[in-house]
Chain A
């Protein structure tokens, strides 16, 4: 009995369907998945438990403390929203927030630009890339305290190497660590030294950009800038976006370098209000003034600010970030 092409297609199609027995296996398969899921959760449980105990728990406790007057020794006393109200009247909070914002606004674009520039240079290297990659990453491994001490010498206004180098070019360098106008640029400079992490991430992203795109663009006569603007930036935009968020959060939490240089009571380097960063002020309130309730409220304000900034970045970033394989809406 000859079969029509339609029937043949139908039979061919049915041949692709799982045999009747497979459906039983399928339901058995979902059981199998459930077991795997349980195993996965079991393997994940140390991290989940750690998250609950060591991160979420303290966060909730910190939120509770932010409504109290607490000095670590006596029991917390409920003060309602007084700590939050007080923040708005505290001029030091405004100063610290402003300093931190200014630093973030200066540092993040510079860090992204500089790291991308270095990554592109590394991407072009045909030999010795490993050496330079390691060299650029080494500062990331250097303790922040050591970096701060090193830069306190390099940035000395009268005898630091940076100003001596500028002097060779006929430029009189500023008083980096004592002139209030140059405090934040000096910390930005110090932080830029440690952008090796961003360089490595950008380099990995650049390596993943298909070369055929550049070849096609070259055939079409695109200039170097056009290739960078139309191919490189869109293709590595997820990495850029990630770095913008991560560096912004890190900038808002800047502490170690300013503490070593300007905030440590044992360190007699005074820079006045210009070096009062938010995390430093929070630390001072907690451990020097022993106002842990107020410090907790300050921490939650910082958390809220970072959340808002990150949400804005995500909303804005979604317009510009291109994820391969994902259709743009």
Chain B
């Protein structure tokens, strides 16, 4: 009986251990072949020459991929050299198709190259998820992230340089806005294929501005005293609490923009943080003064947190009118345009202190992780999904949606310049709402003066540091002191990264 009990216990224990280890066993089981595939894929990507890749390409379907790719927008002759599609899924981490602009481009890719097994994460980029996948030996085929993060991951060795992918698959980098490409590059190598080109202008709530006697000229960002005066005129409070913010500088996140307006940068051309540069300190001092003139940070922030940013009761909506003016990104026009007469909107282009037109551009990019199980497939995907034809498909899909919803085509603002121009020419027509049309025009006109923040191997650390500094300064710390501390933190991170 006791012996039997012992055996039962042993068998039960063994089974439980097997079950418990099953997850990790199967995990390693999948990762081992993947790692082997990865090794070959990376080998062909990083060390083999373009001609060697071409030799091995057709055997694995790479030929088909390249041919179909070439038929769309790739320069002639790139087909034969395309990196091989290993046949593993092209799973893109950190990317969500979201709406018809994404799904139509994925459909386009699948149509062009049916051999690509595209799997979209449908989640935004998550640093923890990406780091864990990389550390756990289960790198995705590709990843989409903010271009400002690319240099950080490139410096840490998480991403592959795309030089060979670009050359072998014939990706025409000249079709992208040069600043977007610069933002996606590090140490002389391109690490990302730009997707969007998000820019900023000042949104104006005409009802609030008119009631306060504020004109577009008063909201000239080159005149900071003028902005403060306009903000004070439009600001309203009830029982000591803000009920309308006159001008929201959108700090901390827009500190780089205000620094740009002031003729400076939070990052030097070589990627070093310059957070305590006098131009940055002045920009922060301006933002602090502006917020303090409108109830102070605690009140200001608490009020801003109550806004229904995407809803019918948003801060620009009639009856709410919680904002006078604020700089923001162009995609928000698409949100506000959907609320019809409730929104009375105009836009003012951003100007630098010297009076020249300027705006800050950001956006996402596709990249290939170091141990991608299908670098060739991802390369082809990146080429196709950012091509002019893919954007044309997205434009058609958006236009169909616009027609159906009787809304306004506000632009897609892709990083592909010819595609962007074509979309504007084809679809951006008078909508019947002159004010919204004028806002859209302000953004399109601003494209020519857009600049990006130089890439840095510590982009995330710099962002964390200036967020901290702005918050501290808004809480009462001297801006110079706050930015000195932030600079120290970011510089330490930079020294470590470059170590």
Do the beta carbons of A158 and B5 come within 8 Å of each other?
no
**Does any Cβ of A come within 8 Å of B31's Cβ?**
no
Task: Verify B2–A159 contact, CB threshold 8 A.
Answer: no
Residues of chain A lying within 8 A (CB to CB) of residue B493: 289
Segment 134-180 of B: residues with Cβ below 8 Å from A: 134-135, 152, 156-158
B6 contacts the other chain (CB 8 A): yes
What's the minimum C-beta distance from B369 to chain A, rounded to whole angstroms?
Answer: 9
Interface size of B in residues (CB-CB distance below 8 Å): 51
Contact residues of B between 455 and 473, Cβ < 8 Å to A: 458, 460-461, 463-464, 467-468, 470-472
A284 to B9, CA, bound (A): 44
The CA-CA distance from A112 to B135 in the complex, in Å, is 41
**CA distance in complex: A223, B259 (Å):** 69
In the complex, which of the residues A72, A92, A175 contacts B299, with contact meaning CB atoms closer than 8 Å? A175
Contact between chains at A46 and B298 (CB < 8 Å): no
> Residue A35 at the B interface, CB < 8 A?
yes
Q: By the criterion CB–CB under 8 Å, are B6 and A158 in contact?
A: no
Number of A-B contacts (CB under 8 A): 120
Question: With the chains together, A272 CA to B467 CA distance in Å?
Answer: 8
Q: Which of B463, B470, B475 has the most CB of A within 10 A?
A: B475
Contact of A272 among B157, B299, B475 (CB under 8 A): B475
Cross-chain contact A50 with B306 (CB below 8 angstroms): no
Q: Which of A136-144, A213-221, A262-270 is the interface stretch?
A: A262-270
Given contacts A180-B475, A287-B128, contact A71 B156 (CB under 8 A): yes
Q: How far is the CA of A263 from the CA of B467 in the complex (A)?
A: 11
A26 at the B interface (CB under 8 A): no
Question: Which chain B residues border A288 with CB–CB below 8 Å?
Answer: 127, 460-461, 464
What is the chain A residue whose CB lies nearest that of B10?
A: A42
Asked whether any CB of chain A lies closer than 8 Å to the CB of B105, the reply is: no
Residue from B134, B158, B302, B489 within 8 A of A158 (CB atoms): B302
Per-residue CB contact flags for chain A residues 279-321 toward chain B (1 = under 8 Å, else 0) read 0000110111111100000000000000000000000000000
Which of the listed residues A178, A284, A292 has the most CB atoms from chain B within 10 Å of its own CB?
A178
In the complex formed, the residue of B with least CB distance to A177 is B302
Contact with A along B12-44 (1 / 0, CB 8 A): 110011001100000000000000000000000
Within 8 A of A (CB), among B403-435: none
B301 within 8 A of A: yes
Q: A45 to B298, Cβ gap below 8 A?
A: no
Q: Within the assembled complex, what's the spacing in Å between the Cα atoms of A324 and B220?
A: 77
Distance A145 CA – B82 CA, assembled complex (angstroms): 45
| A22 in contact (CB, < 8 A) | no
Cβ-closest chain B residue relative to A167: B239
Q: List A65-120 residues whose CB lies under 8 Å from chain B.
A: 69, 71-74, 91-92
Interface check B252, CB cutoff 8 A:
yes
Cβ contact within 8 Å between A45 and B127: no
| A161 interfacial contact with B, CB 8 Å | no
0 or 1 for each of A143-164: is its CB under 8 Å from B? (1 = yes): 0000000001000111110000
**Closest-CB distance, A279 to chain B (whole angstroms):** 13
Q: Which B residues touch A273, using CB under 8 A?
A: 468, 472
Interface string of B435-463 (1 = CB under 8 A from A): 00000000000000000000000101101
Closest to B489 in A: A92
A39 contacts the other chain (CB 8 A) = yes
Q: Is the beta-carbon distance between B124 and A43 smaller than 8 angstroms?
A: no
Q: Would B124 and A266 count as touching, CB distance under 8 A?
A: yes
Known: A49-B17, A178-B297, A179-B298. A39 touches B127 (CB 8 A): no
Beta-carbon contact of A45 and B17 below 8 Å: yes
Q: B157 → chain A, closest Cβ, in Å? A: 5
Given A159-B306, A178-B301: A73 touches B6 (CB 8 Å cut-off): no
Please classify the interface of chain B as helix (H, G, I), strand (E, B), loop, or mixed, using the class held by over half of its residues: helix
Q: B9, B134, B306 — which one has the most chain A CB atoms within 10 A of its CB?
A: B9
By beta carbon, the residue of chain A nearest B135 is A72
Q: What separation, in Å, do the CA atoms of A287 and B461 have in the docked complex?
A: 11
User: A92 to B297, alpha carbons, bound, how many Å?
Assistant: 23
- A35 touching B306 in the complex, CB below 8 Å, given contacts A72-B134, A178-B297: no
Chain B nearest CB, measured from A182 CB (Å) = 9
A50 CB contacts on chain B under 8 angstroms? 20
A38 on the interface (CB 8 Å rule)? yes
The answer to whether B472 touches A73, judged by C-beta atoms less than 8 angstroms apart, is no
Tell me whether A46 and B17 are in contact in the complex, defined as CB-CB below 8 angstroms, given that A156-B306, A288-B460 are known contacts: yes
Q: Is the CB of A43 within 8 A of B302?
A: no
Complex CA gap A36/B461 in Å reads 57
Instruction: Say yes or no: is B305 at the interface (Cβ < 8 Å to chain A).
Output: yes
Contact check, A73 vs B305: say whether CB atoms are below 8 A apart. Answer: no
A residues near B302, Cβ cutoff 8 Å: 156-160, 175, 177-178
Q: Which of A29-63 contact B (CB under 8 A)?
A: 32, 35-36, 38-40, 42-43, 45-46, 49-50, 53
Q: Is A271 an interface residue (CB 8 A)?
A: yes
Do A45 and B13 contact each other (CB < 8 Å), given the known contacts A39-B5, A272-B472, A290-B131? Answer: yes
* Distance of B271 from chain A, by nearest CB (Å): 15
Q: Cβ of A158 and Cβ of B303 under 8 Å apart?
A: yes
How many angstroms between the C-alpha atoms of A16 and B329 in the bound complex? 92
For residue B84, which residues in chain A have a CB less than 8 angstroms away from its CB?
none
The CA of A283 and the CA of B242, in the complex, are separated in Å by 35
In the bound complex, what is the Cα–Cα distance between A44 and B128 (angstroms)? 34
Please determine whether B131 and A270 come into contact, CB atoms closer than 8 angstroms. no
The yes or no answer to B253 lying at the interface (CB within 8 A) is yes
A46/B13 in contact, CB under 8 A: yes
Contact B17 A272 (CB under 8 A): no
Residues of B within 8 A of A49 (CB): 17, 20
Closest Cβ of chain B to A323, distance in Å, is 32
Question: Which 6 residue pairs of A and B lie closest in terms of their CB atoms, listed nearest first?
Answer: A72-B135, A175-B298, A42-B9, A157-B302, A272-B471, A46-B16
- A-binding residues in B (CB < 8 A): 2-3, 5-6, 9-10, 12-13, 16-17, 20-21, 124, 127-128, 131, 134-135, 152, 156-158, 241-242, 252-253, 297-299, 301-303, 305-306, 370, 458, 460-461, 463-464, 467-468, 470-472, 475, 485, 489, 493, 496, 499
Q: List 21 A-B contacts (CB under 8 A).
A: A39-B6, A49-B17, A49-B20, A69-B499, A71-B156, A73-B134, A73-B135, A73-B157, A156-B302, A160-B302, A177-B301, A177-B305, A179-B475, A265-B127, A270-B252, A270-B470, A270-B471, A272-B471, A284-B464, A286-B131, A291-B496
